Structure 1
Amino acid sequence: MALRLSRLIEAVPRSWTGRLAPEEGGGHGPRIAVIGNCQARGVAEAVRILAPGARVRLIPMSTLGKRGQDLDAFAATLGACDHVFSQPFPAGFFAGGGSEALRERLPRMRLFPSIVFTAFHPDAVYVGDLASVARMKLAPSPLGTYHSAITLFGFLQGLSQTQILALFREEVFSRLGYLDAWGLAAADLIASSRAIGFDLSGELLRWSRDGLFMHNINHPRLSVLGDIAARLLREAGLSPRPVAVEAYAPDVLLDDAIWPVYPPVATLYGVSGSTVFKRRQRRGMPPETLGLDAFVAESLAIYREQPRESLTCHRIEHWAASPEIRHLFDAA
C-alpha cells in the first residue's frame, strides 16, 4: 500500500527547474507532445535526440487544467500533434476525467509509466497527507519531501540523534526488510506498467544488469528514460536512432535530490554505496551534500517544529503495530 501511495504522490505536479519551449526541434518531422511529471522532461529530450527533426512539446502535469481549461479544450490543442505520449494522470486535473478520458479523445495517444523503484533506497518515504494528492500537505525534509523512515520512527519513539544514527547498520536493515526489497519493488513496477499496456519486465532485467539505475525512489537515470522514449517511438511506427541518449544530453534529474544507497544495500546489489545525501540543486549553484549525521540532525529539527499528527506514513503505522520492530528501536 505504501508503495502505491508513493506512486500516487509522484503524479502530483512538481516545480520545474526549467521547461522546454512550447515546441522544440526546429525540424519538419512529426509533432510530438510529451505529458508527465518530473520524468517527462527526460523523455522529451530523449525523443528529440532519437527522432531527428521531431518537433517536441513538453507539457508538465503542473500545467494541466490551469486557467479553467477543460479536457475537451485540452484535447483540441493536441489535435495537431502526430503523436501524444503521456504518463497516467488522475481525473483531478480536468473535470472531464484523467488520462484515460483523454486517450478516448486522442486514439493515437500512448501511455507510458511513471518509474518508481524502491529497492536501492528502501528507507526513503513520503510523510504527510498522502491521500490528498496535494504536494503542499507533505511534510518537509532536508531533501524536499523525501524522509528516512528510520529517522522518523526513531523520533516518534523518543530516541536521541545518537541512538538513531546507531540504527543505520546491516543488522537493523535486515530486520526491517531493507535487504529483501527487490522482489516487491520489481513486482510493483511491472504490475503498474502492465496495467497501462507498457510491460517493463524486459527493460527492468536489462536495467538491473547495468547496476544502479535510480537517483532516488522515483527519479530514474536518463538511460532509463531514453529506453522508454525509444520504445514509445518504435511503437508509434518511428525508427529511433540507435544511440545512448545519456551520451548526448544532461541528466536533469541529477539536479534534484539524490538519496544514497546505504553500504549494506549497495553490497547486496554490487553498486557503489554511501551515506551522503544531496539536496535539490539551485540553478547555477554547486551541489550541497549532507552526511548521515547532518541529515538526521536536520530531520529531527524539522520534526520538532511539525504537528505530530502531520508526521504520518503507512510504513510508520506498520512499524508502530509491530512489537518486534518497536523492540528493535527501543533497544537502540
Structure 2
Amino acid sequence: MRWLTWGAKKSTTNMMPGAAKQAAAPRRPLAYEAMIENAQAAKPLFLVLSGCQHKMIAGFLETLTLGKANHYFLSIEKVNAFDKGGWKAYQEELDKADYIYTQKKKVADFLLSQHRYKDKVYYFPVISCAYFHPDIAYIQHSGKKQVGPLGDYHSILVTAAYFAGLSQQQALMAFKPEIYNALGFEEKKQRERAAFINRFKKEGVDLSSCVARWDKDGQWMRTVNHPVRYVIYEIVYQVLQRDEVPIANHSPSVVDWVEDDLARSAEWPLYPLNGNNDFLIFKSPYSFLDKGIYFNLKKFVEYSFASLDGVDRENINVMGCDIEKAINVLYTLK
C-alpha cells in the first residue's frame, strides 16, 4: 500500500523540471515538418487585393483548390495610389502569383494594362447588397468619414430624425412600415437585389439561382457589404469555375474550414414588417475585453444621437439617399 502511495506521489511531484511542459506540448506526427513544408509550397499561388472580404476570399481560394493565398486589405487611399506607384509595394508577390484576384476595379484595370500581369489578373465585384438593410447609409462630415455606434454604418432614419429636431423617443416612432414606405425602402430593396445580380452577371458570374436559394435561408447579408460565410464560399466557387481554375476539394464541410472573421464585426438587424421592434438587436464592430457590444433599438438611437452631436447639417453628405426628403418625412412625427 505504501508502494502505491509512493508511486502516485512520484508521478505528480517528483517529475524532472520541464517534464510538465513536455507533457503539455501538442502531439505531432513524425511527418509534421514534411506536412508544413508541403503546405508552404502548395500550388496554385493566389494573391488577393481587396477590401474587408479579402481574408475569407483567400481562405476559400486555398481550401477549394488546395493551393495557397496571400491577401491584403486595400483602403480607398491605397486603391487611389495603386496606379501611381502604390502597386510596387506588392510587386514581389504580384510577380510570384499564379492568379491575382481583386474586387477593386481600378486595381484590376491597372494590372490588366501591364503586360507582365494581364494574363493572371481576375476581377469580380465587391459582394454588396442593401436588400436587407435599406436604412443603412455612409456619412461624410466635412469630407471625412463619420463614425457611429456601428462604425461606418449609419441609419438614414435616425440621422434624419436628428436633423429634423426630433427627440430620441420621437425617433423611435420612425421605425414603422408607414415611414419605410414613405421613403421608398421597398423599391430600394428590389433595385438593390437586381443590381447585385446584374453586377456579377456582367463579370460572367450568374448568381440568380444562388440568390433564390439563399433567400430560403433568410437573411444572408449582415450589413450592406458583410455577407454570411456561405455566400462568400459560393461566389468564390462560381468565380473559380468561370476562370477555369480546377477545384480539388469537394468536402461537404469545406464551408466551415474558413474562419468567419466578418462575424466579429457589425451586424444590422432585419426590420420586422409588423413594426414590433422589441427584439431588434444591433451588433457593434467594437468590443470590450474581447467581448462583443450589443444593444437594442432604444440604445442604438441614443448612441447615434450622441455620435451626431456637433455635426452640422450643411457639411454632411449622407451617401445613397435623399436625406432632405427623409428629414421632411420625419418632420411629421414631431
TM-score bracket relative to the smaller structure: 0.7 to 0.9
Query: Counterpart in 1 of 2:68?
Result: 55
Shift of 1:305: 2.3
Is 1:32 equivalent to 2:74 in the alignment? Answer: no
Is 1:86 equivalent to 2:102 in the alignment? Answer: yes
Greater fraction of residues in strand: 2
Q: What SS does the aligned partner of 2:160 have?
A: helix
Specify the code of the residue in structure 2 equivalent to 1:120.
Answer: F
Matches of 1:219 and 1:60, distance apart in 2: 15
Query: Counterpart in 2 of 1:222?
Result: 229
Specify the code of the residue in structure 2 equivalent to 1:291.
Answer: N
Matches of 2:320 and 2:221, distance apart in 1: 21
Query: Counterpart in 2 of 1:239?
Result: 247
Query: Counterpart in 1 of 2:134?
Result: 122
Contact 1:265 1:273 in 2 (8 A): no
Matches of 1:330 and 1:203, distance apart in 2: 41
Shift of 1:287: 1.1
Query: Counterpart in 1 of 2:108?
Result: 99
Contact 2:175 2:275 in 1 (8 A): no
Q: Percent identity?
A: 25
Matches of 1:121 and 1:78, distance apart in 2: 36
- Worse-matched range after superposition: 244-253 or 149-158: 244-253
- Worse-matched range after superposition: 168-177 or 295-304: 168-177
Matches of 1:261 and 1:100, distance apart in 2: 36
User: Which portions of structure 1, spanning 4 or more consecutive aligned residues, are displaced by more than 6 angstroms?
Assistant: none
Shift of 1:145: 1.1
* Larger Cα-atom Rg: 2
Contact 1:222 1:245 in 2 (8 A): no
Query: Counterpart in 2 of 1:254?
Result: 263
Contact 1:110 1:232 in 2 (8 A): no
CA deviations over 1:185-207 (Å, ceiling 9, x no partner)? 11221232234443433332332
- Which of 282, 305, 312 is equivalent to 2:310? 305
CA deviations over 1:13-42 (Å, ceiling 9, x no partner)? xxxxxxxxxxx9524321111111001211
Shift of 1:101: 1.9
Judged with a 3 Å threshold, the aligned counterparts in structure 2 of structure 1 residues 73 and 180 are, in CA distance, closer, same or farther, namely closer
Judged with a 3 Å threshold, the aligned counterparts in structure 2 of structure 1 residues 277 and 79 are, in CA distance, closer, same or farther, namely same
Matches of 1:47 and 1:307, distance apart in 2: 45
Judged with a 3 Å threshold, the aligned counterparts in structure 2 of structure 1 residues 265 and 76 are, in CA distance, closer, same or farther, namely farther
Q: What SS does the aligned partner of 2:235 have?
A: helix
Gaps of 5+ in 2: 1-37
Shift of 1:59: 2.1
5 Å-filtered alignment, 1:107-186, equals: 107-128=119-140, 137-186=144-193
Matches of 1:73 and 1:253, distance apart in 2: 26
CA deviations over 1:120-161 (Å, ceiling 9, x no partner)? 11111111169x7xxxx1111111111110000011111111
Gaps of 5+ in 1: 1-23, 91-97
Matches of 1:206 and 1:145, distance apart in 2: 30
Query: Counterpart in 1 of 2:210?
Result: 203
Shift of 1:321: 4.4
Matches of 1:99 and 1:30, distance apart in 2: 20
Matches of 1:169 and 1:238, distance apart in 2: 49
Judged with a 3 Å threshold, the aligned counterparts in structure 2 of structure 1 residues 74 and 26 are, in CA distance, closer, same or farther, namely closer
Query: Counterpart in 2 of 1:330?
Result: 332
Paired residues in the alignment total 288
Contact 1:149 1:315 in 2 (8 A): no
Contact 1:119 1:182 in 2 (8 A): yes
